[in-house]
Amino acid sequence: MIKFFITIAILGFIWTVIIEPYILTVKHINFHFDGLKIVFLSDLHIKPYEIFRLKRIVKLVNEQNPDLVLFGGDFVNSHNKKYTLPIEKISTELGKIKSKYGKFAVLGNHDGWQGANQIINALEAACIKVLQNENVHIKGVTVAGVEDIQTGNPEIEKSLINYSGKILLLTHSPDIFPQVPDNISLTLAGHTHGGQVVFFRPILVPSKYGKKYAYGIVKEGSKTLYTTRGLGNSILPVRFFCPPEIVVIE
């Protein structure tokens, strides 16, 4: 009996630490934006030794042949630069992503903690435009992006100045969703990692709303939120029944 439990513990460790965190899945959701094929990815949390994982992510995104690529923040890992791949190396690899109408991002809390200006400069040098309470117009769609709720000052109204057509709002944290106006078609968020460890429901979610916005589609009135499980992990280097994903919207 003891050997059985030891075996289960070993297999559980191998799965949650070595296997599942490095699985890459593609989640497809139907939400028409005038024929645009959009890829959304968030929470990369690239550790110093994970250049191989970053290259796999870039390859997978390019395989989707996206019209538009959106990033939900937390490119770097941890609070301390010792525990992340330098943002210049991360941005160089992400610069290899091909997108017909460009690449746009918001920053996450870890990006803010490690130095927003440095990260913005590195990303924009790789042709990834960081949206800071502002928007861009792409093929009849307004893509708006707000600052992180923990390390910045998200101003939704400011981000919508001169909007036109359908609106897609990009935010790191889903916690701003109750303040999102009804005219925004779709809000995309990350931050929660889907809970990272899921036993029927997420065990722990970094949100003041608990599990409400932990993962997937949530509708409130005429507005819709999609929170991704993201690609990396934080606090603990584990995932269980919550594999990493990129999201394809078409």
pLDDT at 5: 64
Question: How big is the chain, counted in residues?
Answer: 250
d(CA 194, CA 234): 12
d(CA 3, CA 28): 42
d(CA 219, CA 69): 23
pLDDT at 120: 98
Are 25 and 5 spatial neighbours (Cβ–Cβ below 8 Å)? no
* Cα first-last separation, the chain: 51
Residue pLDDT tens, the chain, 250 long: 787 667 776 776 787 888 999 999 999 999 988 889 999 999 999 999 999 999 999 999 999 999 999 999 999 999 999 999 999 999 999 999 999 999 999 999 999 999 999 999 999 999 999 999 999 999 999 999 999 999 999 999 999 999 988 999 999 999 999 999 999 999 999 999 999 999 888 888 999 999 999 999 999 999 999 999 999 998 888 999 999 999 999 9
Are 71 and 128 spatial neighbours (Cβ–Cβ below 8 Å)? yes
User: Dihedral through CA 44, CA 50, CA 56, CA 60, nearest 10?
Assistant: 0
d(CA 79, CA 245): 23
In this structure, what DSSP letter does residue 174 have?
G
CATH, domain range 2-249: 3.60.21.10
Are 160 and 179 spatial neighbours (Cβ–Cβ below 8 Å)? no
Residue-range domain boundaries for the chain: 2-249
Prediction pTM value: 0.96
Q: SS3 for 21? A: helix
Are 168 and 208 spatial neighbours (Cβ–Cβ below 8 Å)? no
* Cβ-proximal residues to 43 (8 Å cutoff; 6+ apart), any chain: 72, 73, 74, 108, 190, 191, 193, 228, 230, 231, 232, 234
d(CA 29, CA 233): 23
As to burial, measured by CB atoms within 10 angstroms (0-12 exposed, 13-18 middle, 19+ buried), residue 236 is exposed
Q: SS3 for 142? A: strand
